[in-house]
Structure 1
Amino acid sequence: MLVAGLLVGIALPQLARVMAPAIVPFIAVMLCLAALREGPLAAMPRRDALPRTLLAAVTLQCLLPLSVGGLLWALGWMGHPLAVAAVLAMAASPITGSPGLAAMSGADVGASLRQLSLGTALLPLTAAPVFALLPIFPDPAALLGAVGRLLVIVLLAGGLAALLRRAVPRLAAPQTRPALDGAMALAMALVVIGLMSEIGPGLIHTPGLLARTFLFAVGLYLFQSLGAWLATRRALPAGEAATTAIAAGNRNLALFLTAVPPEVFAPLMVFVGCYQIPMYLTPFLVARLTRG
């Protein structure tokens, strides 16, 4: 279903543009389904897990992009659009579909919810020093507004899940999980259609640029995911190490749409579409990692 969503978004760019306004509602649906599956309190960091969840968020969203951005700046490459895209992608919080990907990958969904909620809450603090490094002039108020809206969506989705679990106790039963996993897969397959609008035209008009951007996006994704897995697989339980790899590679770059000037972000939309492809193949990668 995830691959089908990617292919539809590529093959039907007009449909992708029509689907774009539905991205936010589908985000809310995915979060609600994840909270239904695990319970709404699963998004709250546990006391014993808080230090490592906090360390992972700060490392992935601040220390890593600052290190890579500093290297690119020293080499004089920071003015290249793909360099900006790489630093922005690393500075973003995990995508809202991370719990769904964790469920499909056999990883720890509760840990994924905690990484999502804490990473989103910390984003204004972790992104500020990264933005200072970039050759753009983002609006801090716009970033705060975007993060605030996402946090409201997280809270509303969790609240609705709590009400549904109380009103329909069967939704909390273990035998309901496969149905919820299927619904999350369907929601993710639909939401990605709206993010792929530039890939189809790129295949026709600028195939060379599209190919280079795609290879760069895949390399960046693997650098983050595999790096996080190798760094945590011996220190954390396997399920939690897998969720850290998922959070590292699956970044909510689209959240910066409202914080970065349109003339800066427009050239990056091809990268945004290309980056969705390895992200939506995450269950295949993580399954191979955990088996190995």
Structure 2
Amino acid sequence: MIGDLLAAIARHGRLALVAGLVAGLTLPDLAALIRPWLPHLVGLLLFLTAFRIGLRQAAGSLAEARSGLLLIAVFQLAMPLAALVIFWTLGLMATPFAIAVMLMLTAPGVSGAAAFTALLGRDPAPALRLLIAGIAVFPVTVMPILWAAPGLGDIADVLAASARLLVVITLASGLGFALRHLIPAPDLRQVDGLNAIALFVIVIGLMAAVGPALRADPVLVLKWLAGVCVVNFGLQIACYMILRGRSGADPTGPSIIAGNRNVALFLLALPAATTDPLLIFIGVYQVPMFLTPIAMRWLYAHRPHQKAAH
């Protein structure tokens, strides 16, 4: 009975994200209740994703590891440096939007990227590999950005926060891989149902700051929302168009990570004076993020040409 219910939830997993966004906006008390538990829920989501994939599939090949590191260098180093140059040239470096975008581009992929990929019916393993590797090299890739833009925060605090996140991801993923070893053939539909429930609850908590802001200044919130949708969806489209058909690999996972970054990581590391003006950005950023499996389905529905296996 429970298995059938979870399978039904998995079939409508994308609708659960919309329901979570609506609940987060309309039920502020519930959102505030969930918010303190977000780190635990993110850990649960990573555990479920790792269990769904399994260690063997998540490990991938040496060639995939090399291409993954190249993508991470582009995502977490080249992109924010390019944005820094553009904003500096335009004289926009001190604006909250420019600071928020540079922090977003510096961050590794969002923890739910693999789950989003699974909701789209694609292999979530590449996204999980990029997520783990991106967190692992984040202490290295973030240094040039903080050096070039020292106003973004203290490097020691950022590195400490990234270390904590890496520990959480390693533990959650390790437990998931271990359980998959004990249960080698789980019903993936049921696991996807649990993933959808976890995402539903997480998005409610992440929207805790958006509802009050929307009621206080709806025009400002809508301006921020328009900006983050252009950045998020634009990066996904550009990455997919560049990567499709190039190596025979599915570009869905990398493209989702290109636009969806763990910008909330900086809330744990930077001083309140830096992050307070960015709370609206972080809040509205959840909208295109959690709508990715729905709003970008038109893009990821077209399977790229893949090389025949030998």
2:258 corresponds to: 248
Q: Which is worse superposed, 269-278 or 137-146?
A: 137-146
Relative to structure 1, the CA distance from residue 228 to residue 130 in structure 2 (aligned partners, 3 Å threshold; closer, same or farther) is same
Match for 1:276: what amino acid? Answer: Q
Q: Which is worse superposed, 204-213 or 280-289?
A: 280-289
Which residue, out of 280, 284, 292, partners 2:294? 284
1:179 aligns with 2:190: yes
Relative to structure 1, the CA distance from residue 95 to residue 40 in structure 2 (aligned partners, 3 Å threshold; closer, same or farther) is same
The 5-angstrom pairing of residues 41-60 of structure 1 reads 41-44=56-59, 46-60=61-75
Rounded to whole Å, the distance in 2 between the matches of 1:97 and 1:284 is 15
After TM superposition, the score normalised by the length of structure 2 is 0.88
| Count of aligned pairs between the two proteins | 287
Match for 1:153: what amino acid? Answer: V
1:146 corresponds to: 161
Deviation at 1:21? 1.2
After TM superposition, the score normalised by the length of structure 1 is 0.93
1:208 corresponds to: 219
Rounded to whole Å, the distance in 1 between the matches of 2:70 and 2:170 is 23
The 5-angstrom pairing of residues 25-44 of structure 1 reads 25-44=40-59
1:16 corresponds to: 31
Deviation at 1:68? 1.2
1:261 corresponds to: 271
The C-alpha deviation readout for 1:101-149, integer Å capped at 9, x for no partner, is 1100122211111100111111111111112233515122222221111
1:117 corresponds to: 132
Asked whether the equivalents of residues 146 and 155 of structure 2 are also in contact (C-alpha less than 8 Å), the reply is no
Which residue, out of 5, 22, 25, partners 1:7? 22
Rounded to whole Å, the distance in 1 between the matches of 2:147 and 2:57 is 34
Provide the secondary structure at the position in 2 that maps to 1:281: helix
Match for 1:278: what amino acid? Answer: P
1:189 corresponds to: 200
Deviation at 1:286? 4.0
Deviation at 1:40? 3.0
Relative to structure 1, the CA distance from residue 51 to residue 29 in structure 2 (aligned partners, 3 Å threshold; closer, same or farther) is same
Deviation at 1:48? 1.6
Rounded to whole Å, the distance in 2 between the matches of 1:21 and 1:109 is 27
Match for 1:187: what amino acid? Answer: A
Q: Which is worse superposed, 131-140 or 74-83?
A: 131-140
Which residue, out of 174, 180, 198, partners 2:209? 198
Which residue, out of 232, 236, 252, partners 1:221? 232
CA RMSD of aligned residues (A): 1.6
Where structure 2 has 5 or more consecutive residues not aligned to the other structure, the ranges are 1-15, 303-310
Rounded to whole Å, the distance in 2 between the matches of 1:262 and 1:97 is 25
Provide the secondary structure at the position in 1 that maps to 2:61: coil
Provide the secondary structure at the position in 2 that maps to 1:103: helix
Rounded to whole Å, the distance in 1 between the matches of 2:114 and 2:104 is 19
Relative to structure 1, the CA distance from residue 256 to residue 146 in structure 2 (aligned partners, 3 Å threshold; closer, same or farther) is same
Asked whether the equivalents of residues 9 and 194 of structure 1 are also in contact (C-alpha less than 8 Å), the reply is yes
